[in-house]
């Protein structure tokens, strides 16, 4: 999720609990081998054991169609300590698709197989290669062929966003169609898309037959969603299971202050206020208080002004 779930939010959201692993924003691969410095800009966790502050593994995700370059960059990431490599065949963005990346590749199962096989051959056997796909490009007629191609190429797990590229992010997600994908392959299949609350997660699991879900915008809007889902599905243990209830706005306040601290420490000044507004924009989907906060700070640009607002606009931890 380029421009949203970067290392700052990965750090913050994994502190809440319930997350098994994270996938980075996609790294766009064109026609070159990226430097370690460039790769670290997207996945700085690689400098710290490829884990977030809370200890959750982070898998770099590559996006592109140049088979050789995809393989070479995957090999470099493996050398840098990546615990796994994920491949993006699901991004619906027009600029990405226009340049031969993301969901446009779902029109050609053979190229999916070629890319996955090349990446699989380029990284050590103990490092898993996984893939994320949508149900298709304009329609879902090739969904099963694409999944089989990914599996045959060596993908150890397939995440399926339960919509086509043409459907974008418009509700609903077709979780039942993921069940057909799951039946077509032997590797684990993960259901993704339009999971905003526990009820959505339960319906996605029931309709898809999957026992793993991937959360995106839903967890940004509701940071305790992963642990709530674990508790509701009866797969959580210990403190997570006992603390599966939703978080209040007051509970969230320390994380928001931590988010702002990391943003002001690691992001450029011109990005800082915008990132806080971006998170509040999604939080207001679930928290009425976030709407008030968003309205109060939407015109603020200078980090110093946001800092002053944070002292009174967000409850102090």
**What are the φ and ψ backbone dihedral angles of 169, each rounded to 5 degrees?**
-115, 20
Tell me what pLDDT residue 240 has. 41
Whether 45 and 124 share a structural domain: yes
Determine the pLDDT at residue 2.
61
Q: Where are the alpha helices (DSSP H) in the chain?
A: 7-14, 36-42, 67-79, 94-98, 109-122, 143-153, 175-184, 198-208, 217-221, 225-233, 238-242, 249-266, 269-283, 288-297, 303-313
**In terms of domains, do 230 and 253 share one?**
no
Q: Is residue 279 part of a domain?
A: yes
Percentage of the chain modeled with pLDDT above 70: 96
**Which band of pLDDT confidence, cut at 50, 70 and 90, is reported for residue 237?**
very low
Q: Which of 213, 242, 271 is the last residue of a domain?
A: 242
Residues 209 and 261 in one domain: no
Share of the chain above pLDDT 90, in %: 88
State mean pLDDT over 312-316: 87
pLDDT tier for residue 244 given thresholds of 50, 70 and 90: low
- 1 inside domain: no
pLDDT greater than 90 at residue 101: no
Q: Is residue 261 part of a domain?
A: yes
238: pLDDT strictly greater than 90: no
Q: Bridge-partner residues for 245, per DSSP? A: none
As separate numbers, helices (DSSP H) first and strands (DSSP E) second, the chain gives: 15, 7
Over residues 284-288, the mean pLDDT reads 95
Please tell me whether residues 238 and 253 are part of one structural domain: no
CATH number at residue 107: 3.20.20.70
Say if residue 126 is in the same domain as residue 189. yes
Q: Are residues 228 and 257 in the same domain?
A: no
Answer with the one of 242, 257, 284 that is the final residue of a domain: 242
Q: Is residue 96 part of a domain?
A: yes
Residue 290 covered by a domain: yes
Report the range of poorest mean pLDDT among 97-106, 189-198, 252-261, 299-308: 97-106
Q: Measured between alpha carbons, how far is 164 from 142 in angstroms, rounded to an integer?
A: 11
In a domain, 160, yes or no: yes
Domain termination site, one of 215, 242, 269: 242
Catalytic residue among 22, 91, 146, 210: 91
Regarding whether 295 and 258 lie in a shared domain, the answer is yes
Q: Which of the residue ranges 93-102, 189-198, 221-230, 267-276 would you say has the lowest mean pLDDT? A: 93-102
Q: In the predicted model, is pLDDT for residue 98 greater than 80?
A: no
Q: Which of 22-26, 201-205, 236-240 has the lowest mean pLDDT?
A: 236-240
Say if residue 241's pLDDT is above 70: no
Report CA 87 to chain centroid distance, whole Å. 12
Q: Based on the fold, state whether residues 29 and 117 are members of the same structural domain.
A: yes
Residue 2 lies in a domain: no
Mean pLDDT on 223-246: 71
- Are residues 300 and 179 located together in one domain of the fold? no
Lowest mean pLDDT among 141-155, 169-183, 236-250: 236-250
Please state the rounded mean pLDDT for residues 51-56: 97
Q: Which residues, in sequence order, are CB contacts of 43 under 8 Å at separation 6+?
A: 7, 24, 27, 50, 58, 60, 77, 82
Mean pLDDT, the chain, as a whole number? 93
With a cut of 90, say whether residue 218 has pLDDT above it.
yes
Q: Are residues 45 and 100 in the same domain?
A: yes
Angle CA(159)–CA(276)–CA(165) in degrees, nearest 5? 30
Span 229-256, average pLDDT: 75
Distance in angstroms between the alpha carbons of the first and the last residue of the chain: 29
Q: For this structure, is 146 an active site residue?
A: no
Q: What is the pLDDT of residues 74-91, one digit of tens each?
A: 999 999 999 999 999 998
- Give the residue among 3, 5, 2 at the shortest CA–CA distance from 216: 5
CB 126 within 8 A of CB 163: no
Same domain, residue pair 64 and 167: yes
pLDDT for residue 100 is more than 80: no
Q: Report pLDDT for 315.
A: 86
Distance CA 222, CA 305 (A): 26
Please count the structural domains in the chain.
2
Peptide bond into 172 cis (omega under 30): yes
CATH number at residue 278: 1.20.225
- Does residue 38 carry a pLDDT above 50? yes
Q: Is residue 269 part of a domain?
A: yes
What φ, ψ does residue 201 adopt, rounded to 5°?
A: -60, -45
Write out the residue range of the structural domain in which residue 79 sits. Answer: 7-242
- Do residues 237 and 253 both lie within one domain? no
Q: How confident is the model over 159-207, as pLDDT tens digits?
A: 999 999 999 999 999 999 999 999 999 999 999 999 999 999 999 999 9
């Amino acid at each position: 999720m380029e421009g949203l779930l970067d290392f700052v939010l990965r750090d913050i959201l994994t502190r809440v609990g319930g997350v098994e692993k994270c996938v980075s924003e996609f790294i766009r691969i064109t026609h070159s081998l990226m430097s370690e410095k460039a790769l670290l800009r997207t996945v700085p966790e690689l400098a710290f054991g490829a884990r977030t502050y809370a200890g959750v593994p982070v898998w770099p995700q590559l996006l592109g169609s140049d088979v050789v370059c995809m393989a070479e960059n995957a090999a470099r990431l493996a050398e840098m300590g990546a615990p796994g490599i994920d491949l993006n065949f699901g991004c619906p963005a027009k600029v990405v698709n226009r340049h031969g990346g993301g969901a446009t590749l779902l029109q050609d199962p053979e190229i999916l197989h070629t890319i996955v096989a090349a990446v699989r051959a380029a990284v050590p056997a103990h490092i898993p290669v996984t893939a994320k796909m949508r149900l298709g490009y304009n329609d879902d007629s090739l969904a099963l062929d694409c999944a089989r191609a990914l599996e045959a190429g060596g993908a150890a797990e397939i995440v399926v966003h339960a919509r086509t590229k043409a459907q974008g992010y418009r509700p609903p997600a077709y979780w039942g169609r993921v069940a057909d994908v799951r039946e077509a392959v032997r590797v684990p299949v993960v259901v993704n898309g339009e999971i905003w609350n526990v009820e959505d997660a339960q319906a996605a699991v029931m309709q898809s037959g999957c026992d793993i879900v991937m959360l995106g915008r839903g967890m940004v809007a509701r940071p305790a969603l992963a642990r709530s889902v674990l508790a509701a599905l009866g797969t959580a243990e210990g403190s997570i299971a006992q603390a599966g209830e939703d978080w209040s706005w007051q509970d969230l306040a320390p994380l928001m202050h931590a988010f702002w601290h990391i943003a002001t420490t690691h992001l450029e000044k011109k990005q800082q206020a915008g990132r806080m507004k971006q998170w509040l924009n999604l939080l207001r989907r679930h928290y009425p208080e976030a709407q008030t906060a968003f309205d109060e700070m939407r015109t603020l640009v200078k980090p110093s002004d946001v800092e002053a607002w944070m002292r009174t606009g967000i409850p102090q931890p």
